[in-house]
Chain A
Amino acid sequence: MLRLTRGARVALGAIVAVVLVFMYVPLMLVIVNSFNAARIPSWPIQEFSLRWWGAAFANEALWTAVGNSVIVGLGAMVIALLLGTLAAFALQRFDFFGKQTVNLLIVLPIALPGVVTGVAFSNTYNNILEPIGIQLGYLGMIVAHATFCIVMVFNNVFARLRRMSPSMQEASMDLGASLWQTFRLVTFPQFRTAFVAGALLAFALSFDELVVTIFTAPAGVDTLPLWIFNQMSRPNEATQVNVIATLLILLSFIPVYVSQRLTRAEEDER
């Protein structure tokens, strides 16, 4: 055991308490402030009201932005699922020249700062594609998001494939099943949870992405982070942002719950 004096234990406990306060008090302030009747997040709160909740739910621009975020997230997720799974199979099942490079290629879009990725795409869209008459518009945003989401699916599926034995698939092929039948009936059920986890992470990553969106969103189109960002950039920030932020904090319990369920399901499978 690590022998620590009473004083050291108390000091460590105090540091942990400071960390928890630092992490959670600001989030709670956001929640409490969504009920603040005032226009600025002043403290202590003078008057509580549901005024901003009403305003937020009636705000069409906000819900259009949410809709856009969902569409872009789903689009990016589907592309990332396809490309990430293909790449995971290629890198897990084969040894070939340049394997490390391909691996780096997949990680690169998330390893580089979002502003670099965003500026690179917007440069291509505006200075190369547009002059030759190709307007990607909305699709350009989905393309950019999908690019940095691939790694999420790849990582999950790759890690699972490493633990799977190929003998089941060989048996299936030997019994006369086609490649597709084998994939559908034998291979896929084995990495389904990793596939779902990857999809969830890819969607969440896209749903939260701001910087790449700033540079690739077509004019007049807001995603949710873009809408929040525009509200926050104004000097008198509209308090509806606190409302949507509160909803997002509450929503964040879902992925934590799902991931715990997935880990448990995985443990049961083994």
Chain B
Amino acid sequence: MTSTATKPVSALLYRSRRLRLGSLLTLPLVWLVGLYIVSLALLLATAFWRVDPFTSKVTPAFQFDAFEQLLSNQAYLSTSLRTLGIALTVTLLSAAFAIPLGIYMAKIASPWMRGFLAVAITLPLWAGYLVKILAMRVTFTEEGFFNSFFGVLGISGPGFSQPTVVLTLTYLWFPYMALPVYTAIRQIPVNLFDASADLGARGWTTVRTVVMPLLMPALIAGSVFTFSLSLGDYIAAELVGGRTQMIGSIIANNINLNPPVAAAFAFVPVAFVVLYLLGTRRTGALERM
């Protein structure tokens, strides 16, 4: 009883579950809802506002002009589709390299090599976003390494173009695909491989019929990262894409000139990501992330 008298706060909290939960949740919720969700809601509201074409000043209204432009403007539409295509290509490319890498690491490499490769894939994650984009710039610039190195063979590089954007985004997000895929392959019980071999399956058949189905959850989990990170990016397009534009470029270019259009466009990648998540949710892969 003495503790109740001398430690009133502790005692009060100890008695009331609601008070304990409240004292833990209030600050994070005030921050996330009060600052972030309110900001997102205000941004969505801005999409319906009216903009003065001369001063770029917005006034509260309820009109669908911005959304109409989004659908009717050919350039906007093709940019959305291009961005979607880039994000899907990056995802497929990452998976295409992550699977053989994972199989090699888990099934062929020696323990030392396995450890080395695990660190080697993780290390670039820390090297910094712009550092990696700079690395791609240095590699593919007009008089840079790629053109000079492969020029001997008569091959000229992609320069700063859409393929370079795809390569750069793959470069940036590949580890997010490679790590879950490798982990998943390692977790496949060894006797499954033995059984497959005993039943007469060759290596390729085993990979196709045993490894691939068990790999789906990891591939989907990885693809959520590669897909949504690529979809929202526009810095790569700006720095290595030449004239390539992505959804983010339109948002960034319009935020001061035409805020309603920028606001409406901000919800395009969000819609794509939500649709993608809903599509993958049925597989149950996300619960394991």
* A residues in contact (CB < 8 Å) with B: 1-5, 8-9, 11-13, 15-16, 18-20, 22-27, 29-30, 33, 40-44, 79, 82-84, 86-87, 89-90, 93-94, 96, 102, 105-106, 108-109, 111-117, 119-124, 127-128, 143, 146-147, 150, 173, 176, 178-180, 204, 208, 210-211, 214-215, 225, 228-229, 232-233, 237, 241-242, 245, 248-249, 252-253, 255-256
Selected A-B contacts with CB under 8 Å, 12 pairs: A8-B204, A15-B100, A23-B121, A25-B139, A30-B135, A30-B138, A83-B32, A115-B266, A116-B269, A120-B40, A242-B138, A245-B130
- B58 close to chain A: CB less than 8 A: yes
Q: Could you tell me if B269 and A2 are in contact, using CB atoms closer than 8 angstroms?
A: no
Q: Could you tell me if B144 and A41 are in contact, using CB atoms closer than 8 angstroms?
A: yes
- B197 close to chain A: CB less than 8 A: yes
Q: Could you tell me if B100 and A124 are in contact, using CB atoms closer than 8 angstroms?
A: no
CA distance A115 to B193 in the complex (A): 45
| B252-281 residues at the A interface, CB under 8 angstroms | 252, 255, 259, 262-263, 266-267, 269-270, 273
Q: Which residues of A contact B31 (CB under 8 A)?
A: 79, 83, 146-147, 150
Specify the chain A residue showing the minimal Cβ separation from B248. A115
CA distance A180 to B11 in the complex (A): 12
Q: Which residues of A contact B126 (CB under 8 A)?
A: 204, 252, 255-256
Given A30-B138, A143-B35, does the pair A113, B42 have CB atoms closer than 8 Å? Answer: no
Q: Could you tell me if B24 and A89 are in contact, using CB atoms closer than 8 angstroms?
A: yes
Q: Could you tell me if A249 and B131 are in contact, using CB atoms closer than 8 angstroms?
A: yes
CA distance A102 to B120 in the complex (A): 35
CB-CB contacts of B129-152 with A at 8 A, as 1s and 0s? 111111111110101110111000
CA distance A117 to B42 in the complex (A): 12
Specify the chain B residue showing the minimal Cβ separation from A122. B255
Q: Which of B105, B130, B197 contacts A3 (CB 8 A)?
A: B197
CA distance A192 to B87 in the complex (A): 38
- B241 close to chain A: CB less than 8 A: no
Q: Could you tell me if B27 and A40 are in contact, using CB atoms closer than 8 angstroms?
A: no
| B125-177 residues at the A interface, CB under 8 angstroms | 126-139, 141, 143-145, 147-149, 171, 174
Q: Could you tell me if A19 and B97 are in contact, using CB atoms closer than 8 angstroms?
A: yes
Contact residues of A: prevailing secondary structure: helix
Q: Could you tell me if B32 and A1 are in contact, using CB atoms closer than 8 angstroms?
A: no
Q: Which residues of B contact A128 (CB under 8 A)?
A: 42
- B13 close to chain A: CB less than 8 A: yes
Q: Which residues of A contact B100 (CB under 8 A)?
A: 11-12, 15-16
Q: Which residues of B contact A211 (CB under 8 A)?
A: 234-235, 248
CA distance A115 to B236 in the complex (A): 13
User: Distance (Å) between the CB of B211 and the closest chain A CB?
Assistant: 8
User: Distance (Å) between the CB of B115 and the closest chain A CB?
Assistant: 10
Q: Which of A121, A127, A143 contacts B46 (CB 8 A)?
A: A127
Given A15-B97, A26-B138, A176-B3, does the pair A2, B103 have CB atoms closer than 8 Å? Answer: yes
| B23-82 residues at the A interface, CB under 8 angstroms | 24-25, 27-29, 31-33, 35-40, 42-43, 46, 58
Q: Could you tell me if B9 and A179 are in contact, using CB atoms closer than 8 angstroms?
A: yes
Q: Could you tell me if A121 and B39 are in contact, using CB atoms closer than 8 angstroms?
A: yes
- B231 close to chain A: CB less than 8 A: yes
Q: Which residues of B contact A11 (CB under 8 A)?
A: 100
Q: Which of A3, A111, A119, A124 contacts B251 (CB 8 A)?
A: A119
Q: Which residues of B contact A12 (CB under 8 A)?
A: 100, 103-104, 108
User: Distance (Å) between the CB of B69 and the closest chain A CB?
Assistant: 17
Q: Could you tell me if B206 and A127 are in contact, using CB atoms closer than 8 angstroms?
A: no
Q: Could you tell me if A252 and B127 are in contact, using CB atoms closer than 8 angstroms?
A: yes
Q: Could you tell me if B138 and A114 are in contact, using CB atoms closer than 8 angstroms?
A: no
Specify the chain B residue showing the minimal Cβ separation from A38. B143
Given A8-B204, A12-B104, A119-B266, does the pair A30, B39 have CB atoms closer than 8 Å? Answer: no
Specify the chain A residue showing the minimal Cβ separation from B9. A179
